[in-house]
A and B are shown apart, each in its own frame.
Chain A
Amino acid sequence: MPGSSGRARGALEQEVLGCLAAAGRPLTTAEVQAGLDGHLAYTTVMTALTRLHAKGVLTRQPAGRAFAYGLAADMDEIPASLTARGMRRLLESGPDRASVLASFVADLSAEDERILSGLLEDRAHPQDGGPA
């Protein structure tokens, strides 16, 4: 579908970066491909890595006959205090402020915790009302 290719490419680059960040060490194209569950073609992953390198998001170093890609050091220029949590605090300080952040997951109540733990534990038995 040509219409969705733009969004798909955006998703692809994010996935590749996410995979490298989760690994915590430089990875070769083949390793990234394997880390993404292998649902993407080798050349697709290679294109995404090249583009991210060109943007300055990734650095690369020779590893054998290929390259190993890692997170660019640029991101360390952000002051050490500005961790994700620090940034959230900065922008969300005080109960009175207009919250301009949207979190993936908000804080949990005890009830939430029970539901979520149950959901992860019995993967084999779908919960009541859930699609079997």
Chain B
Amino acid sequence: MSVAMWAPILVAVLLAASGGQLGRRLHPAVAVPLLTFAALATALATGFVLAVAAFDAMAMLAPVAQLGHWSAAAVRPGGPPSVLLGAAAGLTVGVLLVAAVRRATRLGVDLGHAVATCRRLGPDADGLVVLRDDAPDAFVLPGVRGRVVVSTGMLRMLPPDERRVLLAHERAHLAGYHQLYVQLAGLAAAANPLLRPLAREVERGVERWADEVAAAEVGDRRLAARALARAGLARAGSPADSRWGLALHAAGRPAAVGARALALLQPPPRRRRWPAAALIAVTLVAIGGAAWTGSTTEDRFERAQADYAVAP
């Protein structure tokens, strides 16, 4: 494997180590789209170079070379690549592809459920549906026309000004297509597990983003933090949820409510340039590595085919 082929893999490792940190230094409205783009591009680039590495090793085998009408010796002028490395790359890309397809299928099914549920929910007030349920709960159902679902139990818990925060937060999720970012980053992480920290940062980021939108809409960050605190404690204290179930769930949920509330007590995040520039630069290296690999591989096979035509 050439240096260019390693570039996307190195970038994935780099993003795994520092992508989340960089994202946290950005305003969430910038961080979420950038991290999603970085994750998707890197996942595609890694998959591509792994596939090329596997194909390279396979192309050296005599029957394959004959089938493709290229000279096996000319495919790799710098000596034969390790067959073992090629096989490992092939196996990896196969497993990851299956994981990505499975994730995409599951997402399709889940989205179908959500859309069907949206349809059954009946009339709404500009996207808000109230369910008569004493247990405090509030969430967004994505769909063609997504809905904000809030239980009467949650609405009763909050004073009017904090209800405004809750509704503004959920509206921000729908208006900003936050679920799209979360799902795309999740897909990228399925296709390249190194990108999981990035996907978690996107999940955390959309909550922070909606918090910031809500705080700006009510014009009071402390009020927004209080709404978050009251809603969080109400949900935790509701008897319908067993503590055991919560603990199981908590590990997979990166958007810690406490940290979000504390962030709202700080001044609004500034819009910094350098972490954004760093993220874009690193992503371009991954894309560049894949593009370079693609073009040089094409050249090599063209030459190998020319060699085959001269002396098969």
Contacts and interface: CB of A to CB of B under 8 A. Distances in A.
Q: Is B one of A's binding partners?
A: yes
B248 A98 contact: no
Interface residues of B, number: 89
Interface string B105-122: 011001101100100111
Nearest to B114: A100
B135 A84 contact: yes
B274 interface: no
B244 to A, nearest CB: 11
For B133, B156, B258, B262, the residue with the greatest tally of chain A CB atoms inside 10 Å of its CB is: B258
Contacts of A41: none
B90 interface: no
B78 interface: no
A1 interface: no
A111 to B, nearest CB: 6
Contact of B131 (A56, A75, A107, A119): A75
B126 A120 contact: no
Given A106-B255, A109-B256, A57 B233 contact: no
A32 B128 CA distance: 17
A129 interface: yes
Given A72-B123, A104-B170, A120-B226, A78 B232 contact: no
Nearest to B246: A107
Contacts of B170: 102, 104
B257 A105 contact: yes
Contact of B155 (A22, A77, A83, A107): A22
B230 to A, nearest CB: 6
A103 B261 contact: no
A32 to B, nearest CB: 10
Contacts of A123: 226
B138 A103 contact: yes
B59 interface: no
A43 interface: no
A70 to B, nearest CB: 11
B228 A116 contact: yes
A100 B110 contact: yes
B266 A116 contact: no
B120 A14 contact: no
Contacts of A55: 123-125
B163 A22 contact: yes
Contacts of B156: 22, 24
A84 B173 CA distance: 18
B246 to A, nearest CB: 4
B161 A37 contact: yes
Contacts of B137: 84-85, 88, 103
B114 A91 contact: yes
B273 interface: no
B265 A126 contact: yes
Q: Which 5 residue pairs are nearest across A and B when measured between Cβ atoms?
A: A112-B258, A130-B265, A115-B258, A10-B126, A116-B229
6 contacts: A9-B126, A15-B163, A21-B155, A98-B107, A100-B113, A126-B265
Interface of B: 103, 106-107, 110-111, 113-114, 117, 120-133, 135, 137-142, 148-152, 154-156, 158, 160-161, 163-164, 166-171, 173, 175, 178-179, 182-183, 186, 206-207, 210, 217, 221-222, 225-226, 228-233, 235-236, 240-241, 246, 248-250, 252-253, 255-259, 261-262, 265-267
Given A102-B140, A104-B154, 7 more contacts: A77-B122, A100-B114, A102-B139, A102-B170, A107-B235, A109-B250, A130-B266
